[in-house]
């Protein structure tokens, strides 16, 4: 995938927040939509964009699809770990858009 497409995908607040959240492990759509306080439809669109540029993987387990960041993404884009670390620090301070995670 072209670097410009990856950078465009990461330029969106919600997609960047999703990437930060996925650093802690594999998550399903319901967990992501709940923590970001956005609809399931919007969450799915953001996840699809991230998947299309190769930043995340999807794995179906029963009726749920779990998303994660593959190790290859960090190898292909060495700046990703630092970017997510810096963004995560900023997002933690921005509690206006992110709420506490509850049960799916």
C-alpha span between 80 and 33 (Å, rounded): 22
Q: Show the domain range for 20.
A: 3-88
What's the pLDDT at 10? Answer: 95
Q: Is residue 98 part of a domain?
A: no
Q: Give the tens place of pLDDT for each residue, 30-64.
A: 999 998 889 999 999 999 999 999 999 999 999 99
Residue with the larger pLDDT of the pair 58 and 99: 58
Tokens in use for 101?
A: 């995670």
- Residue 83: closest CA among 55, 58, 59: 55
Which CATH number is 60's domain given? 1.10.10.10
What's the pLDDT at 89? Answer: 80
Q: What's the predicted TM-score (pTM) here?
A: 0.84
Q: Is residue 93 part of a domain?
A: no
β partners of residue 19: none
Domain count of the fold of the chain: 1
């Amino acid at each position: 995938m072209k670097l410009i497409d990856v950078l465009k995908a990461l330029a969106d607040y919600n997609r960047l927040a999703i990437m930060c959240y996925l650093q802690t492990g594999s998550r399903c759509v319901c967990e992501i939509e709940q923590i970001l306080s956005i609809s399931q439809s919007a969450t799915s669109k953001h996840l699809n964009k991230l998947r299309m540029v190769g930043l995340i993987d999807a794995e179906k387990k029963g009726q749920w699809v779990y998303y994660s960041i593959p190790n290859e993404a960090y190898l292909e884009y060495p700046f990703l770990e630092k970017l997510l670390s810096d963004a995560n620090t900023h997002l933690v301070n921005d509690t206006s858009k992110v709420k506490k995670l509850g049960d799916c």
